[in-house]
Amino acid sequence: MPPPSRTPPPFVMNDGPGTAEPVAVSLAANGGTRRDAAFDRNALYQETIRFFFTPVVGLLDDKDISEVMINGWQEVFYEKEGKVYKAEGVRFDDEHALQAAVRNLAEFVGRRIDERTPTMDARLPEPHKFRVNVIGPPVSRVGLCVTIRKFPVSTWDMEKLVANGSLATPAREYLEIMVKTHHNVVVSGGTGSGKTSLLNALSSAIPDHERVVVIEDSSELRLAASKHVVYLEARPAGVDGTGAVTVRDLFVNSLRMRPDRIVVGEVRRGEALDLIQSMLSGHDGALSTVHASNPLMALTRLETLCLMNDIDIPVYVARAQVAASVHAIVQVVRFADGTRRVREITEVIGLTASEKYEVRPIFRFHQTGFGLDDHIEGELRWTGEPSRFGDDVIDARPILAKKHGYEISETKAIWGLQAPLTGVKT
């Protein structure tokens, strides 16, 4: 394979003038549809991107590798099964080769990457399912850094989470009932902890007849079971600085789309206030994720994000709205052995007299020891605390049985349908 060229390929796709002409030429030449032309154009760029990123193609094609990290032209790392390794012997020819690869990628997605704009986020279209982050000089001291995250085709459902030890059977039933009864659930965790995978799995509990609107910064979610789903994706500004569509813009628009349920892939900015207020105004059953290390920090982060909105509201109002709207928080963690598990499921009670968040842990992970290769062993156990939503579930029980064919079996004591076992609380 010859070394990557120092100049970008002659074919350029962007959001500016000239985009329509190649499409028209392709349509005229091939007698195909506009969709065929767009597919041909994408296929061409997919091949050129693979050519420019030749040193890491093998890593990108490995289905067990979830992330590839290029730290300058000489160092490449990758993540496999939750652990990071150095790709020995993998490097670009020189700095110019990596610059050419990044330049080609920027042209493909219609972005700019240079000293004035040293950062870039992008998503490659099907079939790659890659999210790419680029940061370069002068803000990066080691040269261009490219982080490529692969979006695996999610095959996770609640049964598989139980089978691999990420979830316990009673916790699975608890979460399914919370989703089916339209309670608002937030998945909290750090980067790479499995928030999106868990959200995908939770979506399997959404009834098929519901209209679901999914809003994301970069499209990752593929809901497991729902048939009536509309996927919306934010768009950054083009090279001319115009055309941006934010998550908040999409969220405001989604409220006019007659949603039965709104799923926000991740709350990162001021759109948190819009989400919280929608939960309070009748759009219940929302699902979302947030970056936080524990349930209390998740609530605090949501509160902070609400205050980042351009609407000036007092801190107490933001805190009270968060406490009233979020019903349960599922904390996911990547453990030291690389496994991703649910560490805690906590209900939000409200605010105390001193205006602090009051929460009630319903399930907690208890480590019991170590297995082969230092694999952490343990289980997610019920704490013995009753759910504050017991009356809601008892009222909804006939509907769960008749309309959804769902019988409560493992969590009766949690909802107050039977007396709890003695000695359960840990």
Lowest-pLDDT choice from 303-307, 349-353, 386-390, 405-409 = 405-409
pLDDT band at 74 (very low <50, low <70, confident <90, very high): very high
Q: Check residue 152 and give its pLDDT.
A: 61
pLDDT given for residue 11 in this prediction:
27
Q: In what order do the strands lie in the sheet with 228-233?
A: 228-233, 211-216, 261-264, 287-291, 185-189, 328-334, 340-351, 357-370, 376-382
Is 294:331 a contact under the CB 8 Å cutoff? yes
As a whole number of Å, the CA-based R_g of the chain is 24
User: Residue 37 is inside which H or E element, if any?
Assistant: helix 34-52
Q: What value does the mean pLDDT take over residues 42-61?
A: 85
Q: All domains of the chain, ordered by start, with CATH?
A: 20-150 (3.30.450.90), 158-415 (3.40.50.300)
Strand partners, 288: 186, 264
pLDDT surpassing 80 at residue 319: yes
How confident is the model over 318-325, as a mean pLDDT? 96
CA distance 134 to 104: 12
Q: Which pLDDT score is estimated for 128?
A: 57
**Is the pLDDT assigned to residue 422 strictly greater than 90?**
no
pLDDT higher than 60, residue 282: yes
User: In this model, does residue 12 exceed pLDDT 50?
Assistant: no
More confident residue, 349 or 158: 349
Q: Which residues lie across from 238 on neighbouring strands?
A: none
Per residue in 125-164, pLDDT (tens digit) is 655 568 899 999 999 999 999 999 887 655 567 888 898 8
| Least confident segment among 67-71, 73-77, 307-311 | 307-311
- The mean predicted confidence, pLDDT, of the chain is 84
